[in-house]
Structure 1
Amino acid sequence: MFIQLFIIFLTIIGIFFLNRSSLFKNRSQYFRIAAMSIIFLTAFIRIFRYSSIMGLNLDEAMGGYNSWSLAHYGVDSALNRNPVYLYAWGTGMNLLYPLISVPFIKLIGLSLVAYRLPMVILSIGSIFSLVVGMLMYKLPNRLILLSLATVFLSPWSIMANRWGLESNLFPIIFTFAASAFLLFLSKQANHPKQAKMYLYIFAFLIALSAYAYSNNWFMLPFFVCGIFGYLYLKKKASLKSLSAPAFLILLIIWPLLLFAKINYFSGKTFKILSLTIPKLSSSRSNSELIIGHGNIFYSISNNIFKFIKLMVTGNDHLIWNSLPQIGILYPFMFIFCIVGIVIAFKKRNDWDNFMLISLLSCFPIVMIIKINANHLNALMLPILYFEALGLYYSLKGPILKMAFTIVFSLYFVTFSFFYFHADQTLLTQGRTLTPSILGKAIRFANKSKAKKIYITCLPKGGYVIPRFYCPISPVAFNKEKPNVTFKTESNYKSYGKWYFKQPKKMSNNSVLIVKKGQKLHFRLRNRHKKDFGQYRVYY
């Protein structure tokens, strides 16, 4: 509770200073009150019970343990020092978010509170950065308010910003980059030196985003070339002034280029300048790319159809991305996105062109990456902005404006009701989420002096769950894990005292964690038991 209150306090301080700035003072009182209210609401909805609404996801457990390992031992779970990409699962995991989480875990300890906190803080920070950028660029008051509401109060952004999936960091970093681009545009005419600085910041953030989500490597080259080409053709930057930011991008991403080379072509793990470039045991692209799964033209057309269906219905059937009652976008809002795109092509300014380039750069992702909200996170900022632009031009007159305010508020309240009343036991879709109560059962079992702890209620790859709640040194883990070579995601059946299967019989010095109602192949005699929600510990 202290952490939540502290973040809310910092948000209020940020709103206070924003309200005192000349950018804000020059706007109407109605705008200032409305903008401050939206900012506070977006911050509150992200921090409120952020560590307890949803249980521990397998990816969070893997990322959190790697972050803990880096914090305390200077190596990842595979004993790689200064890795540019995590070996996690054997198929890899993006580095940036676990790396950012290191100081939080070092200070607070490994927990959902600590591991999710950077996502919450950075998402709130991105709100302030975009507000400042839009104010500096002098966008109309109503468009700024609509942009804040559609981007930061959408079901997708609320849910994505409240848990520690490392790939969800990309749209936050991209929002900071977009804000820097707005500041570049606003300073270009009268303050060229400041504009140059913001262009460097933009380039740095775009390069950094490559470490946030590898799927978006299919988008970033087109985006960078598109933006730099636009600036050159519109005479907003010379080739000389663009060459330095381009060099900065290459200076930051060259380790990833080497990583891509050895993993997609040939090579093995090697070290260079104290960095580790890991060779993965298998490529996650097998499960995320549609290429190599049947007729390529049919697969692409089917993928595009699934994308359109997701945008229209809003449901990607993953409970951590979209609630069945609402979806990733509020109902019918995608219509205004289409309106906004059409208007942007007709009446576009530099900011609209930035968003159009962002949108078009994502087309390779839509064609070849399997469709769900996580995989499409590079698309979300431009899509939500175009919603705002479509609403801006569609809502003419006080009656329509009032009607939209009421409808949007009802959408938000409905979403909040379903989201904050969801039982964690229902959020185990696909068995990749585990309720927090299981963590309490695991910690209780770990406190015993048992030589063997059996857990029969974990999903495939669930060995990461006790490793998160009861972390051991990566050196000890690598000594204790089975010596198995995996072609796909690693699925250890045991390590050390932890066993992830039902035993043939229970020895005296062992503990068993089961789900209530689960059938056992043996009788438990003279055993104590303790219940944790739907789980039971026999000890």
Structure 2
Amino acid sequence: MNLVAYRFPMAFLTILSVLFLIFALYKNKVTPKIILGVSVSLSTAEWLLMYGHWAMDCNIVVPMFIFAVGFIILSFTQKKIYGYVGIVLIDLMAYCYVGAWISLPFIFIGTICFLYNLEKFNKKDIYRLIFISAVLLFPIFCYVLVQFIGVKPFKFLWFTVASLPQTRAANSMISFSGNIINNVISNLASGLGQLITGNDSWLQTSIPGYAVIYFLMFLLMIYGVVCVVKEKKNVVTKFLIILSFSLIPLILFVQANFTHWAVVLFIAYLWAGIGLGKLFELAGKRIVKVVILLTVFIVSVDFTHYFFKDYTNTEVTANQIPSYVIDFNNSKKFVSELDNLHVKTYYGFPFYNSDRPSNNIEFLECIKRPNPHKISRLEEKYQPSIPTQITSGSAAYIIPEDQVDNYNYLESLPSKILRVNGQNYVVFYKGN
């Protein structure tokens, strides 16, 4: 287990989903210049490179949504089974922790109605899809009843439906206290500013200083929308319009940042790709085309250079809390060296987040793989706090090197220096 292995599936799925979307556009005989525009837009999207390398619970929603859009577009000219797959993926997006859930009913209904009007689906297909969706969404529906509606925990077949001690549902929504209209307007202004500047102030989704490319893509998005509104719409652009309107609830009521608005950014960059393609289709304007492509190329090369050279160090430094684990193998070796001390209790275990006291235990479960019935013993053996005096019995005290002076009472004990995640720790220990 290492960082590359952990992040590879998400990165691979993101790349594969973009390639699949391009393939779906090609199979629908979308003009080559529009396909080129979309390819340039998505392959140089800094936010997507940032988003696609984070293996977090919410991030899977982006490749899943791109695949869903690709399969539905593919169903326009191919077999209806692709439409079924697209709808199922939309259903499964309900299980992704992200604000997209608020728009999923509109995407679901809009897509089914659109395919029905295209005569790709008939009434039997709609009934089947409603049944399939009901089965897929039944577990989360039960959870909602218990977590938010007040139904008591219950057991269904072999599943126990219980409530969580806390959720983050409210953290992704705007405030509904006070003047809601002002809150919505403020959120829209914040989201618009992020689209233009490419900075949502979150290190994991944006790198400040690349506003040029974001502003350029914002202008191309506007241009793409204007071009489509003025001309006769094809089946792909009609579907894109439906998706765009379906996202309005998300844009209005979900807090603006690149994580919560990830599907919005994807649709925005599809429009930007169309705008770029429309620009390619114009006769003349060679200088404008060259300037835009040269700008995209130069900024992308500069961003990629920073991302692979300097960003990793910035990421590590910013996230040392110090529970944030960057190098799994290094951490495993650290724990192994601690175990070699053969003491009963380890105080000051560093992989610990005060917001989530169980983090150190989760991490230890991953390394030590204990018997499930003995997990509680890990919490007894590895503790985050440092006692105010030397305890009876064998123990080790893990102190950050720059804080050793605060624990003078430990100086009588033998010690050794261990390093993990870029930080040195002085480990004082005593046997039985």
Q: Per-residue deviation at 1:476?
A: 4.6
1:344 has 2:228 as partner: yes
The one-letter amino acid of 1:360's match is F
- Corresponding residue for residue 238 of structure 1: 122
Aligned CA distance change for structure 1 residues 452 and 441 (closer, same or farther; 3 Å): farther
Counterpart Cα distance in 2 of 1:342 and 1:501: 60
Q: CA deviation at 1:251?
A: 2.2
Query: Deviation digits for residues 205-237 of structure 1, max 9, x if unmatched?
Result: 211222223532201001111122233345554
Residue in structure 2 matching 1:383, options 254, 268, 275: 268
Q: How many residues align?
A: 410
| Aligned residue number for residue 34 of structure 2 | 143
Whether contact under 8 Å (1:219, 1:365) holds in the other structure is yes
Aligned-partner Cα distance in 2 for 1:379–1:282: 27
Aligned to 1:215: 99
Aligned residues of 1:445 and 1:537 also touching (Cα < 8 A) = no
**1:399 equivalenced with 2:293 (yes/no):** no
Helix, strand or coil for the counterpart of 1:518?
A: helix
TM-aligned CA deviation for residue 271 of structure 1:
3.0
Q: 2:345 aligns with which of 438, 452, 462?
A: 452
Which residue pairs with 1:422 in the alignment?
Answer: 310
Partner of 2:87: 203
Given that 1:288 and 1:369 are in contact with CA atoms closer than 8 Å, whether structure 2 keeps it comes out as: yes
| SS of aligned partner of 2:418 | strand
Per the TM alignment, residue 186 of structure 1 is displaced from its structure 2 partner at its CA by 1.5
Report the aligned-residue RMSD: 2.8
- Which piece of structure 1 moves more, 453-462 or 147-156? 453-462
Q: Deviations over 1:88-123 (max 9, x none)?
A: xxxxxxxxxxxxxxxxxxxxxx54333323212222
> CA separation in 2, counterparts of 1:457 and 1:451?
18
- Secondary structure at the counterpart of residue 396 of structure 2: strand
Residue equivalent to 1:119: 10
- How far apart are the structure 2 equivalents of 1:497 and 1:517? 24
Deviation, structure 1 residue 337: 1.1
Is 1:163 aligned to residue 51 of structure 2?
no
Is it true that 1:475 corresponds to 2:372 in the alignment? Answer: yes
Structure 2 counterpart of 1:175 = 66
Match of 1:528 in 2: 416
Q: Please give the TM-score of this superposition, normalised by the length of structure 1.
A: 0.69
Could you tell me how far apart the structure 1 residues matched to 2:215 and 2:361 are?
39
By how many angstroms is 1:181 displaced?
1.1
Name the CA distance, whole Å, in 2 between partners of 1:353 and 1:506: 71
Partner SS state of residue 151, structure 2: coil
Does the aligned pair in 1 maintain the 2:350–2:384 contact within 8 Å? Answer: yes
Q: Which residue of 254, 266, 290 maps to 1:369?
A: 254
CA-CA distance at 1:419 after TM superposition: 1.1
Could you report, residue by residue, the CA deviation over 1:39-95 in whole angstroms, capped at 9, with x for unpaired residues?
xxxxxxxxxxxxxxxxxxxxxxxxxxxxxxxxxxxxxxxxxxxxxxxxxxxxxxxxx
Structure 1 residues not aligned, in runs of 5+: 1-109, 188-193, 482-494
> Are positions 1:316 and 2:209 aligned together?
no
CA distance in 1, matches of 2:297, 2:11: 23
SS of the aligned residue for 1:365 comes to helix
Q: What fraction of aligned residue pairs are identical, expressed as a percent?
A: 23
8 Å contact kept, 1:180–1:202: yes
Aligned mates of 2:225, 2:394 — CA distance in 1:
65
Gap change, CA 1:342 and 1:113, over 3 Å in 2: same
Q: In the alignment, what sits opposite 1:288?
A: 172
Aligned counterpart in structure 1 of residue 324 of structure 2, from 434, 439, 458: 434
Q: Deviations over 1:3-39 (max 9, x none)?
A: xxxxxxxxxxxxxxxxxxxxxxxxxxxxxxxxxxxxx
What does 1:236-315 correspond to in 2, within 5 Å?
236-315=120-199
Give the TM-score normalised by structure 2: 0.85
Would the alpha carbon gap of residues 278 and 328 (structure 1) be closer, same or farther in structure 2, given more than 3 Å must change? farther
Q: Which digits, 9 at most, give the CA deviation of each residue in 1:131-173, with x for residues without a partner?
A: 2211110111121122122123311111111121121111101
Query: Are the aligned partners of 1:126 and 1:172 in contact in 2 as well (CA < 8 Å)?
Result: yes
Secondary structure at the counterpart of residue 201 of structure 2? coil
Secondary structure in 1 aligned to 2:419? Answer: strand
